[in-house]
């Protein structure tokens, strides 16, 4: 990962703060789907950063086009496997298995809404009313992932020895990489 200058870090912080303000503004004005889409995108990007700081499970994931095709739910599943395989690392972490479980539930709810937009209209209308709650929760989870990535960057920068020997091995992520590689070859 490329080291950022102090000026770049300040700019990134400002961009992140503007992003959170934009999400909150969307929620405050009832634009819940907009907030949910923004949050999902940011969560996916943060998980990509977190996964890269912890190490990737296969050489296929080195290709950006493949990594970008792996969804958030697969990344979260892989992160759970990583947490299970490295319990000492997460002993004092603010990011818990309970938080991760809630994030997976959030992701599943988001997927049901977004992927259901043009399918079963009657069913979709019933779940639309819960979008505000989903948008508010998504903003909190996005902030948690930003914080987790920030902490891992710090550890990687100043205490990289802590990350040595940790293994990010996940069958689900490996299979997702293979699926993405196959999809790209057919394209």
Integer Cα distance of 67 and 60 in angstroms: 8
> 72: which 2 tokens?
């958030």
DSSP letter assigned to residue 58: S
The per-residue pLDDT for 169 is 62
Q: What is the pLDDT of residues 124-162, one digit of tens each?
A: 666 666 788 888 999 999 998 888 888 888 888 887 777
Most confident of 8-22, 124-138, 172-186: 8-22
The answer to whether the beta carbons of residues 135 and 26 sit under 8 Å apart is: yes
Positive/negative CA dihedral, 98, 116, 78, 19: negative
Burial class (CB in 10 A: 0-12, 13-18, 19+), 27: buried
pLDDT band at 9 (very low <50, low <70, confident <90, very high): confident
Q: Which of 2-6, 148-152, 177-181 has the highest mean pLDDT?
A: 148-152
What pLDDT digit, counting tens, does each position of 65-80 carry? 656 677 888 888 888 8
Name the nearest CA neighbour of 170 among 86, 108, 90, 77.
Answer: 77
Cβ atoms 47, 72 nearer than 8 A: yes
Q: Where are the domains of the chain?
A: 6-186
Q: Which two tokens stand for residue 135?
A: 């948008």
- What pLDDT digit, counting tens, does each position of 70-127 carry? 788 888 888 888 788 777 777 766 778 888 899 999 999 998 888 777 666 676 666 6
Per the CB < 8 A criterion, the answer to whether 112 and 127 are in contact is: yes
For residue 81 the two structure tokens come to: 């496997």
Q: For the residues 29-57, what does the mean pLDDT come to? A: 85
Question: Rounded to whole angstroms, how far apart are CA atoms 156 and 105?
Answer: 29
Alpha carbons within 13 angstroms on the beta-carbon side of residue 49 total 19
* Nearest of 117, 121, 48 to residue 78 by alpha carbon: 48
Tokens matching residue 143: 């902030």
Residue 183: pLDDT over 60: yes
Burial class (CB in 10 A: 0-12, 13-18, 19+), 111: middle
């Amino acid at each position: 990962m490329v080291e950022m200058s102090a000026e770049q870090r300040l700019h990134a912080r400002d961009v992140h703060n503007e992003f959170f303000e934009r999400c909150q503004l969307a929620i405050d004005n009832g634009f819940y789907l907009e907030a949910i889409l923004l949050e999902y995108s940011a969560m996916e990007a943060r998980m990509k950063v977190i996964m890269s700081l912890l190490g990737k499970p296969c050489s296929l994931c080195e290709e950006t086009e493949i990594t970008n095709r792996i969804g958030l739910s697969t990344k979260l599943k892989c992160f759970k496997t990583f947490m299970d395989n490295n319990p000492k690392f997460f002993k004092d972490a603010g990011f818990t298995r309970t938080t991760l479980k809630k994030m997976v539930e959030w992701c599943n709810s988001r997927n049901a809404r977004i992927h259901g937009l043009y399918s079963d209209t009657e069913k979709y209308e019933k779940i639309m009313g819960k979008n505000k709650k989903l948008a508010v929760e998504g903003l909190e989870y996005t902030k948690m992932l930003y914080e987790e990535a920030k902490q891992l960057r710090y550890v990687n920068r100043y205490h990289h020895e802590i990350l040595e020997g940790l293994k990010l091995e996940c069958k689900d992520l490996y299979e997702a990489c293979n699926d993405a590689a196959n999809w790209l070859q057919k394209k």
